[in-house]
A and B are shown apart, each in its own frame.
Chain A
Amino acid sequence: MAIPIWKDITVNLGTSAMVDYRIRRNTTTGAIIYTGRSNRRPGATANTIKINSVIADYFTKGLPGQGDTFLTFVVEYRSGASWVSAGSFVVQNDWSYDYAYLGELSAPITHTIDGRGVFHRTVDEDVQSVHIEFQDEDGSVEAFEDITPDEGDVALDLSDYPYPIMEVDGERFRLSLCHRYTLHYVNAFGGWDQLLIEGNTVESDSIDRKQLEHTYDNAYESIRGRENYHNGIRTTMVMHTGILTDEESLRMHHLMESTSVFVFDSANGSLRPAIVTNTEVEKRINRNGRQLVSYEIVVELANDKQRR
C-alpha cells in the first residue's frame, strides 16, 4: 500500500556518521531530484532522513481527472565508491492525516451530481475496470459502461446518459439537471471528486481601477480631465451547498482545504480554475435536530481579467 505524503517517511541510510544521499524519481536510473549530506543525530545509532519536504512538491496538479496521485521515489546513499539503495517508496498525494485511512481515494461529499457534466473519480492503480450503470427510478438498468482507469483516473461524460440514477461499483448517485455549478477538486486522499452546488450562487466582480488626472482645455465640454485607463477584474462566486447530513458535513473539509479546485458551469460547459478563499471550515453536526446544515463556499476564479 502506498504511503500517504502527510506521514513522515523516514529512510535509514546506515550507521555512518556522515553520508551523502540522493533521491531519484521512479527507478534507480530515474532523474535525480535532490542530493544531500546527512549527519547522524547525536546519540543515535542509525543515520536517518525524512524525505517528505523534498518529494511533496513533485505531485503535479492538472485538470480534473489528471495529475499525480501516486509517485515512486528511490533513495540511495553512498557507500565507498558506489551507491546503495535505501529503498523505493510509493507515495500517495494524501494529506488527510487519517491514521484509520483504508486506502479509499474517493470521498464525494454528496451523492447528487450534475447530469450534464463530466464525472470524475480516482481509484487505486491496481483497479482494472470501473463498472458504471445508469438506471431509471425503478432500478432498471438502462445502460452501463466498464471503464478502464487511466493511471487511476476515471472520466465519463454524463450528457450521453439521460437517466436519473448512476451506480459506480455499487455506489449510488442521483443525476440532477437543476443546478448550474459544480466544483471539481482534489480531495484529501489525492483523488478527484465533485460537489454539485445545490444552493444559490452570487457572482460578483471586484474592480481595481487605475485613474489619473491630467491637464486639459476646458473650453471644450467633452474633453476628459480624469481618465480611468485600466481596470483589473477579479471574479468571486459565493456558493451555497444544499442541506447536508452530518456525514456529508464531515466530508466538506475535502473541498474547503483543497488546493486544486475547478468550477464547471453547465450553462456554457466551461471549466475554470478557481481558488477557495474560506479561511475556516466547521465540522457541523446537527445534534439538536433543529438546525439545518449548509455551507457557504467563497471561490475566486484564478484568472483575472482586464479592460482598457
Chain B
Amino acid sequence: MRKIDLYINGQRADFSDESFVLMNYTQTELGNPTIVKNSFSKEVELPGTPANLRIFSHFGECDRLGGSAFSPLAKYPFSIFAEDGRCIESGYIKLGNVKKSHGRIDSYSVTLFGGLGSLLYGLQTDSQGKKLTLADLEYEDEDSEYYNADYPTALDIREAWTALKEGWNYSLWSIFNFVPMYNGLPESFDADKAVIKAGVFANCPGRINEGGKWYYPSGGMTADYLLKFGSKHTEWEMPEIRNYLQRPCVNVEKLLTAIANTSIALTGRPFIVDNSVWSIPNIGDMWMSLPLIPVQYRSLQSITLRQMLEGTMSPADFLIGFAKAFGLVFRTEPDKITLLARNAVFSADPSVVDISARVDTSKSVEISPVYADSRYYEFALPGVGAVAEEYKKTYGMEYGSVRIDTQYPFNEESESVLDGVPFRTSAHVPHVSPFFISEHFEMESGQYLLPQSWAETVQAQMYKANDYGISGEVKMIDLPEMSGIVVEDAGGFNDWLDKFEAENADRKGQDGSGILMFFNGMQDAPFTEYDDGETYLDFPQKKYYFTAWDNARVSLNGGVDCWDLRHLGNYTTQLPNFSAIKGAHILSMADTDYETGLFTARWRNYILDLYNRETMRMKCSMDLRGLQVGEPLLGRFYWYGNAIWVMNSITNYSLTTEDTAEVELIKVQDMTHYTNGQN
C-alpha cells in the first residue's frame, strides 16, 4: 500500500484504506480545446477518528459553536506528502457532509481541490465572498514602487500621455493610461451645450442686441455663458479631453505581472508567468480597455485606483480569458502554478518516451476517433460598436471572428469556443462627421472663432438688461454671424486618427471594456505646408483642449455637466495611437491580407493536428511507477505502436495504492505543431 500523508490546515489527517485518494489530470477537453482544466480529486471519506475530529473541531455535533475553530466557509489548505517527504499535491478542501451513526461522527466527506482551482478561486473572490476586481492587485513599476489602490491620484491625462510618449516605466501611467475611443455621447451630460467666456470668441460677444433690447450673460459682459447647439456632440467633435470621459486602459504585461505579484497574498500560491508568455509579439505594447470611470466620481479632484477600476473584471476572469485567447496552458505543480505557451509545454522536453512496457495489455485498450462536438467552431469575441453590429447583421458572425470546419460530419452546428472570455472586438475606423471641420478655433489673428459652419443653429443663453442691471429673464438668442467663414463640404469630414468604437449607430455608448490593442506611438495631427513656405496645421481639430470637472460650469447649466470652451490655452496636438495592428500581428481572431490574427498565430496548428482524420484517441491502463505523476507528464511525447502520442489525461491515479491508472493518449500527426506551432 502506497503511503502518503494528508495534512489539512497543517494537521495530519487520518484516512482509511478505503478512502482512496484518486487524482485526475487533464490537458485538453477534446470537445472544446479552449476549456481550461483543473486537477481535482474525487470526494475523500475521512473517518471520524480523534485526529480528524480535532481537525474539523467536531463539526457535526448539533450544538457545536465554532468560534475560531474550523469553519466550513473558510478555505483550508491541504497537502499530500509522499514517503520521501515530497509534496505531491496541494490546494484547498471543501467539506461536503458529515455522517453520524449511533450518536457519533462516522466520517467526513471532503473534496480536495487541486492547484489551479484554488488559484483561480483566490483571484475571483476574497475571503468574504466579495468579487475581486483589477483594483485588488498590487501594481509595481520598474522602480519597485507599489501603487496603493486606495490612495488618491490626480487623473492628469496630459501627464498620462506624456508618460506614454516618453516611455516612462516608473509611473502609474506606465501601467494605466487612456485610450482615445469613440465612446458615444456621454451619460448624465448635456452634450448639446457648452460654456464659453464672453468676448474670447469673436462671435461670442459680451452682449447681444435682440429686437432692440440688449441681452447679457447672467454674470455680466465679461462673464461665462451657456451655448446650445442644434445637436449633441462627442468629445472628438467638440474637441475636448475630459479625464473622466476618456477610456482608461491597462497594460497587459503589467497586469500579468501584478497578478503574479499578488497571487500569494490573494491565493496562498505562487503564480509564475513563463518567458514564453513574455515572448508573445509586442506584449509590452499590448493594452486592454477598461470601463469608463463611474459617473459618481466625476467631480473628484483626485480619484483612487480602486475607484478608477470599479466594475472591472476579476483577475481570474482576465487570466482565463487571456489563456484561452492566446492558447496558453496552466501548469500546476505542488509549489507553484505557471502560465506558459503550448509551445513551451511540449518543447521543454521534446524527447519521446517509449511506453511499450508500461501499457497493461491484459486490460482493454480502447481506440476511438477524435471528434469535435460540432461541425463548426467559432473563435469569436463579442463585437461592440456600430461597425461590429452591422457586420454581424450582414454576415451572421462576430467582427474579426474565425469559423473553422472541424470535419465533424454528423451535424451542421456551430459552437462558439471562446464563450466566457471577457474580451471584446471592435472596428478600428475613422468616424465621419460634419463637425470634424477643416476650420479650427484659432484664427490667424490669434482670436478664437466659434465655427458657425457647423451648419446648425447655435444659440446663447442670455439675460435681459433692465434699468437696474441684468434681470432674471432669460432668452436663447442666435449668435451674430461672422463673415469670411466658408465651408466647402458640409457633408462630413474624416476624423484624422482611427479609433475603436464603443458606440452604436445612434451614438449611444456601449461597454467598450476588454478590447485588446497595441500602442503604436503618439500621432501628430497632420499638417500641410503651403507654397510660400509657411506651415499650417490645416486638418480637422488641430488642437484638443483639456478640461476637468468644474462646479461653476455645472451650476451655470442647472446642475448638469456640459462642454467647456473656456480653457483654450491647455491643449495638445498629439494623440496616442492605439490600434489592433502592430507589425505583422493583429489582435483579432481573423487574419487580414497582411497581418496574422490570433487564431492562426496561436491555435491553428494545434487544431489542425487535433482534428485531423488520422488522429485517434487511445485509452489504456498504464503503469506509472517510477514517474512523477502530475501535469508535467501531460507535456511529453510518447511512443507506442510505431506512433507518437501525447498524454491528454490521467484518470483515477491513486495516491494510496499501487494500481495502474487510466490514461488517455492522443496521436500526434506532426510534433512541431505542438513544439513550434505558435508564433
User: A-side interface residues toward B, CB under 8 Å?
Assistant: 20, 34-39, 49, 53-54, 56-58, 60, 210-215, 226, 229-230, 232, 304, 306
Contact = CB atoms under 8 A, between A and B. Distances in A.
Contacts of B50: 57-58, 60
A232 B657 CA distance: 9
A54 B58 contact: yes
B623 A229 contact: yes
Given A58-B50, A229-B658, A214 B361 contact: yes
A212 B53 contact: no
Contacts, number: 65
B104 A53 contact: yes
B64 A36 contact: yes
Contacts of B53: 57
B361 A230 contact: no
A62 to B, nearest CB: 13
A36 B361 contact: no
A213 B362 contact: yes
Interface in B324-369: 356-362
Nearest to A233: B1
Contacts of A210: 658-660
A234 to B, nearest CB: 9
Interface of B: 1, 49-50, 53, 57-58, 61, 63-67, 69, 103-105, 356-362, 621, 623, 625, 658-660
A52 B1 CA distance: 35
Contacts of A215: 356-357, 359, 361
Contacts of A229: 623, 625, 658
Contacts of B623: 212, 229
B320 to A, nearest CB: 38
A230 B65 contact: no
Given A211-B362, A229-B625, 5 more contacts: A35-B64, A213-B361, A214-B356, A214-B357, A214-B358
Contacts of B625: 229-230
B19 to A, nearest CB: 16
Contacts of A37: 63-65
**Per DSSP, are chain B's interface residues mostly helix, strand or loop, or mixed?**
loop
Given A34-B58, A35-B69, A57-B50, A49 B360 contact: no
A39 B63 contact: yes
Nearest to B68: A35
Contact of A35 (B65, B358, B659): B65
A47 to B, nearest CB: 11
B1 A304 contact: yes
A38 B66 CA distance: 13
A54 B64 CA distance: 10
A229 B104 CA distance: 41
Contacts of B58: 34, 54
B135 to A, nearest CB: 38
Given A57-B50, A57-B53, A229-B623, A214 B659 contact: no
A54 B362 contact: no
B360 A213 contact: yes
B658 A232 contact: yes
A-B CB proximity, top 3 nearest: A212-B360, A57-B50, A213-B362
A226 B103 contact: no
Nearest to A53: B104
Nearest to B622: A212
A36 B65 contact: yes
Contacts of B621: 212
Interface-central residue, A36, A38, A54, by most chain B CB under 10 Å: A36
Contacts of A306: 1
A212 B65 contact: no
A25 to B, nearest CB: 12
B363 to A, nearest CB: 8
A16 to B, nearest CB: 14
Contacts of B362: 211-213, 226
A220 to B, nearest CB: 14
A36 to B, nearest CB: 4
18 contacts: A34-B61, A35-B65, A36-B61, A36-B63, A37-B65, A38-B63, A53-B104, A54-B58, A60-B50, A210-B659, A212-B360, A212-B362, A213-B360, A226-B362, A229-B623, A229-B658, A304-B1, A306-B1
A49 B63 CA distance: 9
Nearest to A20: B65
A20 B65 CA distance: 8
A117 to B, nearest CB: 29
A71 B543 CA distance: 87
A211 B49 CA distance: 34
Nearest to A54: B58
A214 B658 contact: no
Contacts of A53: 61, 103-105
Contacts of B658: 210, 229-230, 232
A170 B569 CA distance: 114
B61 A54 contact: yes
A80 B358 CA distance: 69
B69 A214 contact: no
Contact of A232 (B1, B49, B103): B1
Contacts of A38: 63
A11 to B, nearest CB: 12
B360 A214 contact: yes
A174 B660 CA distance: 54
Nearest to A39: B63
A218 to B, nearest CB: 14
A304 B61 CA distance: 34
A99 to B, nearest CB: 20
A214 B359 CA distance: 6
B387 to A, nearest CB: 60
A123 to B, nearest CB: 26
Nearest to B63: A36
A212 B660 contact: yes
A49 B62 CA distance: 11
Nearest to A231: B658
B186 to A, nearest CB: 55
Interface-central residue, A53, A60, A211, A306, by most chain B CB under 10 Å: A53
A210 B661 CA distance: 12
Contacts of B104: 53, 56
A213 B623 CA distance: 10
A210 to B, nearest CB: 5
A229 B105 CA distance: 38
A285 to B, nearest CB: 29
A56 B61 CA distance: 14
Contacts of B57: 34
Interface-central residue, B1, B69, B105, B359, by most chain A CB under 10 Å: B1
Nearest to A59: B50
A214 B358 CA distance: 7
A53 B67 CA distance: 20
Nearest to B51: A57
Contacts of B358: 214
A304 to B, nearest CB: 6
Contacts of B67: 35
A60 B49 CA distance: 11
Contacts of B356: 214-215
A228 B357 CA distance: 13
Nearest to A234: B1
A304 B17 CA distance: 11
Contacts of A212: 360-362, 621, 623, 660
A34 B50 CA distance: 13
Nearest to B360: A212
A263 to B, nearest CB: 20
Contacts of B360: 212-214
A35 B63 CA distance: 9
Contacts of B659: 210
